[in-house]
Amino acid sequence: MKKLLIFLLPFSLWANYLFVLHDVGETLALEPCIHELRERGELVHVIKLEKKDRYRKVPIEKIYAETLVVGCSSAGQLQYLEAFKGKSKTVCYYDNALEIHRIPYRALIREFERKADHFLVPSITAANSSIRKALIVGNADLDKFEEEVGKYEEVKGRVVYFGGYDDDYKEAFKAFISLYPRAIVYPHPSTDGNLERSFGAYIGKDPSIKAVGEAEYVMIHRSSIGVKASIAGKKVYSVDQDGEGDKIQANRNTLGIPYGSTQIICDFLQ
């Protein structure tokens, strides 16, 4: 069957699995699965969309794949899902352990829920917020993060802030930096950090795992790293545009996150 498909599609690529990634969170969670599938002898093709593809149409690469795996953070990924629907098995992975309705672009995520053949989530909490039956598979990045953070010695009094990019982020960061002007700030990876620098923020240089490991307090806007830090045992607060902070108290038991995500996802895909 595979040889026939290649003959019928001579100008196209072919793969067992096509991964279409956009957001940093889903990329970190799924890259170990890509490596594992290749170790198992599978042919895996990966497309990484750009930041601008969150809201715009993208050209669909000419490729046949038995299984399409996408995150749910961009319109570009939804277009791939719609293009492959009925031709390949379609799988969508939502990487956040928290409820879907708490995500600013939740309306987009709901479209993936409705259209994907299979919808994967990292936690029981996320599954309970889904409009369909979701498969709970954990998050490989959480597994690695929790293990690595414990290797660093905490520095008393150190405040580390991880930024965002939502519409209300500027006001939230302005409120935060006025309260904690000496905090170490990490802009969101999909931004250039100019907003934070315009407020005179000190931009951190260390890897995020080291920054969290050495922090006594981890502050966020809506970054998913807040949940990761809390699961790793850190004191975490989410700061809104009024400067009010809500403590994030999350752990594997309360959220229902299994260990061994890479194995779970790869076994399911195969």
* pLDDT > 50? residue 73: yes
The pLDDT of 154-170, averaged and rounded, is 90
* Range in 2-16, 18-32, 174-188, 248-262 the model is least confident about: 2-16
Q: Is the fold of 2-136 the same as that of 146-253?
A: yes
The pLDDT of 243-261, averaged and rounded, is 89
pLDDT given for residue 77 in this prediction: 97
pLDDT given for residue 165 in this prediction: 80
Q: Which residues contact 15 (CB under 8 A, 6 or more apart)?
A: 43, 44, 45, 63, 64, 65, 66
Contact (Cβ atoms closer than 8 angstroms) between residue 152 and residue 214:
yes
Residues of the chain with pLDDT > 90, as a percent, come to 72
Kindly report the backbone phi and psi dihedral angles of residue 210, in degrees, each rounded to the nearest multiple of 5, phi listed first: -65, -40
Q: Tokens for 232, please give them.
A: 């790793």
Confidence of residue 7 (pLDDT cuts 50, 70, 90): very low
Q: Which long-range contacts (CB under 8 A, 24 or more apart) does 179-188 make?
A: 179/239, 179/243, 180/219, 183/159, 183/219, 184/158, 184/159, 184/160, 184/211, 184/215, 185/160, 185/161, 186/160, 186/161, 186/162, 186/211, 187/163, 188/24, 188/162, 188/163, 188/164, 188/223
Residues of the chain with pLDDT > 70, as a percent, come to 95
DSSP 168-211: THHHHHHHHHHH-TT-EEE--TTS-SHHHHHTTPEEP-S-HHHH
Rounded CA separation 183/166 (Å): 21
DSSP 239: E
Fold of the domain spanning 2-136: Rossmann fold (3.40.50)
pLDDT given for residue 12 in this prediction: 61
**Position of tokens 């940093």?**
24
Pairing assessment for the beta strands 235-239 and 245-248 based on DSSP bridges? antiparallel
Fold of the domain spanning 146-253: Rossmann fold (3.40.50)
* pLDDT > 50? residue 75: yes
Rounded CA separation 227/237 (Å): 10
Domain locations along the chain: 2-136, 146-253
Type and span of the H or E element at 26: helix 24-39
* pLDDT > 90? residue 49: yes
Contact (Cβ atoms closer than 8 angstroms) between residue 22 and residue 74:
yes
Q: Name the 3-class secondary structure at 28.
A: helix
pLDDT tens-place string over residues 191-236: 899 999 999 999 999 999 999 999 999 999 877 788 889 999 999 9
Q: Which residues contact 250 (CB under 8 A, 6 or more apart)?
A: 97, 98, 227, 230, 231, 236
Whole-number mean pLDDT of the chain? 91
pLDDT tens-place string over residues 85-127: 999 999 999 999 989 998 888 999 999 999 999 999 999 999 9
* pLDDT > 50? residue 8: no
Q: Which residues contact 31 (CB under 8 A, 6 or more apart)?
A: 140
